[in-house]
Amino acid sequence: MADTADVIVIGAGVQGASLAFHLASRGARVTVVERSVVAAGATGRSSGLVRVHYELLAEARLAWAAQDWFRQWGERVGGDCGFTVTGFLWIEQARNRARLAANSAAHAALGAASSIVGADEIRRIAPALEVGDEVAAYEPNSGYADPSMTASSLIAAAKARGATLVQGAEVTAIQQAAGRVTGVTTTKGAFDAPVVVNAAGAWAGRVGELAGMDLPIRVWRHDTGYFGVPASLPGRIPVVIDNANGSYFRPEGSGLVLIGLEDDDQIGGSPDRDTAAAAPDFAVRAAERLVRRMPAMIDGDVRSSHSGQDGLTPDQRAFLGSVGSAGPAGFYLDCGHSGTGFKTAPAIGLGMAELILDGAATSVDIAPFAYQRYLDGRPLVGEHGEEILWR
């Protein structure tokens, strides 16, 4: 006899964990089925940036709502998420100042501390940075968190509220009857529920196929690495998205810096590929860009590098909510986060739980991310223009 729940969540990354927490907090019976272990996929490889700045205001609203959760984690969730305030800089060439200023003003209108700073102010904030004809949006209250700790504490809190976690349970079938889902079959047995949520990260496309859908979600592979910080590096390192150099970086504790590059990512391929190693030339390319922005890093050293994978949608924004008439009733999407879903997870889980249990999200707005936008040919685009992030 199959176990019965109100909602089955496929995937125990940070998004699935957040949804399980919010559903269980509302008294719903939740079963999370995970093919491996908590945070084993994209979450465990996430860079963990926590900032508000997005070029799409709908994403900025979610990130702003989520930041309160990271700040009050112990009171709201319990456990620890490792949130560390470092300040955040989004650096652009000066020719992009108007677009950057418009985005920053929109974020400030939400309540976020965001302002535009020039080269001299960037150097004051982060003396290690080499700055030319550039400007930045600055968020003094942003930083980073620990993705694995975040997901694990959400799952622990969900279980404390009655949720069930089944690890090592790969979904092999999504059960359906009369046009709606009735549960899932896994390598650890069957589980019944009238609602099934695809929060499977890089495997979301495969899970969609089990529901009879051809979701436009490709596997996106992204490399990151850690470098040792030399004692000669002046001042502190904030979180930086360095659009001028096609990279981002942040501190890891006091002795390391994490870096990722925003070009030459692999699109397509199998989500089952090993992620233990980055591309052979990654360390050299990453070191060159770090030194270009922080010259003192010439005395740093390579510590480690690895890869990670997530699901990528055509407009590089998540699919959230019911699939409507495009698939079986009761089948929901919380996937296709395209490498940027960590910082929004607390807010998205809240909105998705409201949508599933109440029929509409009222605390946050997830409506722009509905799957129907793809079917209607309405990609999400930043209000003031944007550049494709992953290229």
pLDDT in tens, 331-378: 999 999 999 999 999 999 999 999 999 999 999 999 999 999 999 999
pTM over cut 0.95: yes
* Selection from 260, 250, 367, 361 nearest residue 320 by Cα: 367
- CB contact set of 210 (below 8 Å; sequence gap of 6+): 171, 172, 173, 174
How confident is residue 264, by pLDDT bands cut at 50, 70 and 90?
A: confident
What's the CA gap between 331 and 213, in Å, rounded? 10
pLDDT in tens, 184-228: 999 999 999 999 999 999 999 999 999 999 999 999 999 999 999
* Structural contact between residues 142 and 51, judged by C-beta atoms closer than 8 angstroms: yes
How confident is residue 388, by pLDDT bands cut at 50, 70 and 90?
A: low
- Average pLDDT, whole number, for the chain? 96
Taking residues 260-279, what's their average pLDDT? 94
Does residue 305 surpass a pLDDT of 50? Answer: yes
pLDDT in tens, 128-185: 999 999 999 999 999 999 999 999 999 999 999 999 999 999 999 999 999 999 999 9
How confident is residue 1, by pLDDT bands cut at 50, 70 and 90?
A: low
Taking residues 286-296, what's their average pLDDT? 97
Tokens standing for residue 105: 């003003």
Look up residue 121 and give its DSSP letter. H
Distances 288 to 98, 190, 295 between C-alpha atoms, Å: 29, 51, 10
How confident is residue 288, by pLDDT bands cut at 50, 70 and 90?
A: very high
pLDDT in tens, 49-105: 999 999 999 999 999 999 999 999 999 999 999 999 999 999 999 999 999 999 999
What's the CA gap between 59 and 57, in Å, rounded? 5
What's the CA gap between 350 and 362, in Å, rounded? 9
pLDDT in tens, 22-54: 999 999 999 999 999 999 999 999 999 999 999
Delineate the domains of the chain, giving CATH numbers in brackets: 3-46+147-217+314-375 (3.50.50.60), 84-141+219-308 (3.30.9.10)
What's the CA gap between 185 and 314, in Å, rounded? 29
Taking residues 227-245, what's their average pLDDT? 96
Give residue 347's pLDDT.
98
Q: State the alpha helices, DSSP H only, in 46-146.
A: 57-71, 73-76, 97-110, 119-125
Give residue 389's pLDDT.
57
Look up residue 229 and give its DSSP letter. P
Give residue 385's pLDDT.
76
Strand partners, 277: none
What are the percentages of helix, strand and coil residues in the chain, rounded to 5? 30, 30, 40
Look up residue 329 and give its DSSP letter. B
* Structural contact between residues 302 and 324, judged by C-beta atoms closer than 8 angstroms: no
How confident is residue 391, by pLDDT bands cut at 50, 70 and 90?
A: very low
